[in-house]
Amino acid sequence: MKPLNPTLNVDVAIIGGGIAGLWLLARLRQHGYGALLIENGRLGAGQTICAQGIIHGGAKYSLSGQLSASATAIAGMPELWRRCLGGEGDPDLRAARLLADHQYLWATRAPTSQLAAFFASKLMRSRMEKVAGADADDYPAVLHHPDFRGTVYRLDEPIVEVASVLAAFAESHREAIVCNEGPVTLNADNSLTLRYADQPIWTIQPTCAVFTAGAGNAALPWATLQLRPLHMVMARGPALPGPLYAHCLGVSDVPRLTVTSHYDAGGRLVWYLGGGLAEEGVQRDRHEQIRAARRELAALLPWVDWSQVAFATFTVQRAEARQPQGARPAEPSIIHAGRVLAAWPTKLALAPLLAERIEEILRTLGVRPHSANLQPLANWPRPAIAVSPWDREDLAWS
């Protein structure tokens, strides 16, 4: 008779090593739960590593002149993240890199752009401050130009280097993060089979299983989801006039352009472009999207020589719980069938709120914290950190 696989009992098995799974792992372990995170690729691969790193505080969700549910849900996230980044909260993210303590929102001279900024500033009074003309030296370098005629606001929204956040979690909780070969699926008894080349097969028996695998949550037939694509753009070259972290307003309640700045492995400055450009860009191929990006930048910042800047694009799918008419969810989403949960944070910034709500559900399900002996997996392979978009070797720059 074939011997049974050894079994490891844990309170919670987390499937998926993006920001949602990692934040949940850290919270549960801090509160005494025996938790294990299982990832079949690289930590953060997919949505998380493609995030712009903005810890939103709700400003971009108030451009219509009303406080939306999204703005309300996300309002406290910048302060929570700041405490963690400063080592004053749990989890301790002092090892992560803060790219900028705040970002900007700028309105063009167009009346609709000015009106959206005015509405947002009134609603977000405590977290959005107009930069007066006398303080023009506080403008981002690229806007400190005699031809700039717009209005600038400073937003209480920090920007983090996503890869460093992932690395901070991985280092702090290495013993509780393991690789699996192939997608993780539930057995009939809600156990999981952990396997990897040249390793003995293990059975993981959790009291509760939480899937935080983004699009991979579709492995649960009852976890209906929706995909909303983005066509992101990156700009690189010595002509870039310094780092920029900003939203530029257009005529809709989605920023016309969102820019964050990063340095690639070669030390070159990269502008990472999202917002309306990325949302509308899903209808365009790579060449059309680059042409659209050049047009937008030339229109908004005409004093920059964009001919000396190279561009690359890629698409990413945002996976979320299915909403009526495919609308954007306002908050993190959790669906559960018994003691199996599927969860999506919706935004990088909302990962702490998602983890808090999952822990509340665990308590209602009667899952209580117990220590878990993870020593049998001490030599198990650990996943690497995903490669940031600007360091991908499969993208063409032109």
User: What percentage of the chain reaches a pLDDT higher than 70?
Assistant: 90
Asked whether 354 and 381 are in contact (CB, 8 A), the reply is no
Strands 177-179, 192-194: pairing is unpaired
Peptide bond connecting 229 to the previous residue in cis, omega within 30 degrees of 0: no
Closest-CA residue to 268 (of 218, 312, 319, 314): 312
pLDDT in tens, 50-63: 999 999 987 656 55
CATH number for the segment(s) 62-160+226-318: 3.30.9
Q: What are phi and psi of 269, to 5 degrees?
A: -70, 135
pLDDT at 386 over 60: yes
Sign of the dihedral through C-alpha 380, 203, 30, 163: positive
The structure tokens listed for 281 are 């860009």
Q: How far apart are CA 256 and CA 275, in angstroms?
A: 6
How many Å separate Cα 319 from the centre of its chain? 12
The structure tokens listed for 26 are 């850290």
The structure tokens listed for 115 are 């009106």
Q: How far apart are CA 77 and CA 56, in angstroms?
A: 7
Residue 110 has a pLDDT of 63
Q: How far apart are CA 396 and CA 287, in angstroms?
A: 11
pLDDT in tens, 176-213: 999 999 999 899 999 999 999 999 999 999 999 999 99
Look at phi and psi of residue 374 and say left if phi exceeds 0, alpha if psi is from -120 to 50, else beta: alpha
CB atoms within 10 A of CB 340: 19
Q: SS3 of 12, please?
A: strand
Reported as a pLDDT band with limits 50, 70 and 90, residue 338 is: very high
Q: Where are the domains of the chain?
A: 1-53+161-224+322-398, 62-160+226-318
Q: Which fold has domain 1-53+161-224+322-398?
A: FAD/NAD(P)-binding domain (3.50.50)
Q: SS3 of 386, please?
A: coil
Q: What is the dihedral of CA 220, 226, 228, 229, to 10 degrees?
A: 40
pLDDT in tens, 226-250: 999 999 999 999 999 999 999 998 8
Mean pLDDT of the chain: 91
pLDDT in tens, 281-328: 999 999 999 999 999 999 999 999 999 999 999 999 999 999 998 888
